[in-house]
Amino acid sequence: MGKLFERFPDPLARLIVVVFALAVVGVIVVFGLIPKSMMDVDAQWASAVKREEARPIKFAGFHACAECHDKLYETKKKGYHRDLSCETCHGPAKAHTEDPDKVKPDIPAQRAFCPQCHAYDPSRPRGFPQINPVAHNPLKACASCHNPHDPKPPTTPKECSACHGEIARMKAVSHHVQLECTTCHDAPQQHKVSPRAVKPTKPQTREFCGKCHRKDAKDKMAKNAPKIDLAEHGEKYVCWQCHYPHSPEVEQ
Ligand code: HEC
Ligand code: HEC
Ligand code: HEC
Ligand code: HEC
Ligand code: HEC
Ligand code: HEC
Ligand code: HEC
Ligand code: HEC
């Protein structure tokens, strides 16, 4: 290299030599050393498809199970777990469908499994059925009370507090402790069986609270209720924009 440079004393000529040498190296690398499959998009796709095709298929898909487990398949289709694939819970089961006697899928019977979806998590959509796994019937398998293929509450709860524990506990230490939930909500019996499909009513008007709180209120519960002037008191808003109805308080 040193000798080569002596033949070109002019710095500009030396620069040209260096650039030319780099260009030659570049051409060799691009056309000689990089494999064709890395430069050709079609070739890249073809090799990716081959690579994926070579992987073993582990999941059989939802409908494959229907062939032999038709009863379970039909049961599940009508229940709350209709949108869950069998293999969401039983794991990949392709091998099982091919040789059901030898290969058995997982059975997720342990308590820790179901809370992956059902443990209380504030980021889940409001109304998604959630429980506190520590407090909710501890020590027993979930499947001992809920059929995993058609989950429902095993018995219809009698009390509103079974499902609205927080509201019930709050009301129990509030000024409204003596009022029943049904004083303010008309709750059809069916609400306790399919709560999201059949909803109770909620008070809609100021006059509703006025039944007990307006000056000339006649309700039998109105006797001990502090009175307000319904026409003037907070007149632009419904009452529960200022007073939480399950624990009404008056700021001192
Ligand atoms: C070709 C028929 C066939 C297909 C398809 C099939 N199974 Fe099975 N499966 C069986 C048989 C047979 C048994 C054993 C029955 C028994 O023990 O009562 C079984 C048992 C099971 C068990 C219980 C295993 C145990 O340890 O008791 C599970 C869970 C299961 N299958 C899940 C699935 C899932 C999920 C699919 C769909 C991906 C599926 N099966 C598809 C035939 C099939
Ligand atoms: C939400 C999770 C979940 C889904 C979805 C699910 N399973 Fe299960 N499966 C379980 C659990 C948990 C058990 C164990 C039940 C027990 O211990 O009594 C079980 C048990 C079984 C058994 C053993 C026999 C029995 O009836 O107890 C079979 C067979 C089975 N499942 C097949 C299926 C098939 C087929 C599907 C889809 C149609 C499916 N499972 C969907 C959780 C699930
Ligand atoms: C992959 C997530 C997932 C897993 C795992 C799962 N569930 Fe569910 N579960 C759901 C979905 C989704 C619903 C339907 C929610 C709806 O309709 O709004 C549901 C509904 C339910 C309900 C109905 C609640 C009601 O509204 O009355 C019960 C009970 C239930 N699951 C119990 C279980 C049990 C027991 C297991 C374990 C064997 C389990 N779930 C595992 C997703 C899951
Ligand atoms: C001893 C029986 C029993 C066991 C065990 C049990 N549950 Fe429940 N579950 C109930 C009853 C009863 C209800 C109805 C509401 C209530 O009384 O708390 C219910 C309600 C639910 C609901 C519906 C809540 C709603 O807001 O609609 C879900 C989800 C649920 N259980 C999931 C589970 C999971 C997950 C497990 C296991 C970690 C489990 N349950 C174990 C009896 C049981
Ligand atoms: C089996 C469980 C369960 C029982 C028992 C139950 N509820 Fe509910 N309730 C729910 C669920 C779940 C919702 C829906 C929550 C959501 O969508 O966020 C709900 C919603 C409501 C709502 C709101 C309706 C709306 O339009 O927003 C009211 C009010 C209500 N319940 C009152 C009651 C009263 C009063 C009782 C007793 C007579 C009762 N509930 C018993 C589960 C229950
Ligand atoms: C004094 C009347 C009153 C009583 C008693 C009452 N509620 Fe309510 N409740 C309301 C009003 C008003 C709303 C509407 C609040 C809103 O729209 O912001 C409401 C809303 C609700 C909601 C919808 C969710 C929420 O927190 O806004 C549920 C669920 C509910 N009530 C359940 C109950 C249960 C369960 C009881 C008994 C433990 C009960 N309520 C007792 C007046 C009452
Ligand atoms: C059936 C009668 C009845 C209805 C309907 C009723 N209340 Fe009351 N309310 C009472 C009684 C009784 C008390 C006083 C209890 C006590 O402290 O002795 C009370 C107390 C209050 C207080 C005073 C709390 C304090 O700190 O002194 C407020 C605020 C209140 N209610 C708001 C409401 C609102 C808002 C509604 C409508 C959603 C409503 N009430 C519906 C009976 C009722
Ligand atoms: C704009 C907010 C606002 C609205 C809307 C509102 N309140 Fe009040 N309320 C207050 C405040 C603040 C107090 C305490 C100061 C006072 O007595 O004016 C209070 C006090 C009360 C008291 C206690 C009075 C006493 O003498 O102890 C009752 C009962 C009451 N409100 C009921 C209602 C009812 C019923 C409605 C609906 C018709 C309603 N409020 C609407 C803000 C409001």
- 10 Å CB burial of residue 86 (0-12, 13-18, 19+) is buried
User: CB atoms < 10 A from the CB of 99, how many?
Assistant: 8
Residue 153 lies in a domain: no
CA distance 52 to 58: 13
Question: Ligand 1 mean position to 105 CA, how many Å?
Answer: 7
The Cα angle at residue 109 between residues 108 and 112, in degrees rounded to 5: 80
Structural domain boundaries enclosing 195: 160-241
Q: In the predicted model, is pLDDT for residue 53 greater than 80?
A: yes
Average pLDDT of the chain is: 90
What is the pLDDT confidence band of residue 139, given thresholds at 50, 70 and 90? Answer: confident
Asked whether the beta carbons of 227 and 211 are under 8 A apart, the reply is: no
Ligand nearest to the CA of 65: 1
- The atom number, within ligand 1, closest to the CA of 61 reads 38
Pick from 59, 67, 69 the residue to mutate for probing ligand 1's pocket: most ligand atoms within 8 Å of its CB.
69
SS3 for 228?
A: strand
Per-residue pLDDT tens digits for 18-35: 999 999 999 988 888 887
Domain count within the chain: 3
Query: And the tokens for 132?
Result: 């506190």
Among 78, 109, 144, residue at a domain's last position: 144
Give the model's pLDDT for residue 7. Answer: 80
Residue 231 lies in a domain: yes
- Whether the CB of 221 sits within 6 Å of ligand 6: no
Asked whether the beta carbons of 184 and 208 are under 8 A apart, the reply is: yes
Q: In the predicted model, is pLDDT for residue 61 greater than 70?
A: yes
Question: Ligand 3 mean position to 248 CA, how many Å?
Answer: 35
Among 105, 120, 144, residue at a domain's last position: 144
Lowest mean per-residue pLDDT among 73-77, 181-185, 210-214, 216-220: 216-220
Same domain as 230, residue 172: yes
Same domain as 166, residue 130: no
- Whether the CB of 126 sits within 6 Å of ligand 5: yes
CA distance 246 to 20: 84
Pick from 59, 63, 65 the residue to mutate for probing ligand 1's pocket: most ligand atoms within 8 Å of its CB.
65
